[in-house]
Amino acid sequence: MKFTIVVYAAPYSSEAAHSALQFTAALLKAGHEVYRLFFFGDGVHNANRFTVTAQDEENLPLSWHRLILDNNLDAVVCVSSSLKRGLVDASEAKRHDFDAGTLFDSSEIAGLGQLVDATTNSDRVVNFG
């Protein structure tokens, strides 16, 4: 089955973002297809590459990054949610004269049209947050 996962939850504020990560990994393990990951609202913090955690704690954005790369997933952060939360890619960083991009390059900045596209092309849409 084709799934789209929508994440509204920031990492570490609630369990939702971690549940979303585990659910996505479980889907892939069970042989399902993930059409798209869509990070929306506070969920965009899951793509922050400047996240630093204690050694005995999972770095959730890094886990997402690896899951996305290992499985060649399509991951999108909502443009309006991410810019106002300081999540910028290299080109946005340049445009706004910041020293560096904060977004993992495994996620792409795009608009809500990508969520509509994912909704219409997936068998299931599962929300976390």
Partner 1 sequence: MTHKKSITFVSRSAPYGTHNAQLCLDMALACAVFEQEVNYVFLDDGVYQLKREQRADAIKRKTLGNALETLSLYGIENIMVDGASMQSRALQVADLVLPVTLVDRADISALLQASDVVFNL
Our CB check for partner 1 shows the closer of 39 and 64 to be 39
Find the angle CA(88)-CA(101)-CA(44) to the nearest 5 degrees. 40
Our CB check for partner 1 shows the closer of 28 and 112 to be 112
List residues binding partner 1 (CB under 8 A): 6, 8, 40-42, 80, 111-113, 115-117, 119-121, 125, 127, 129
Our CB check for partner 1 shows the closer of 41 and 93 to be 41
Report the catalytic residues. Answer: 78
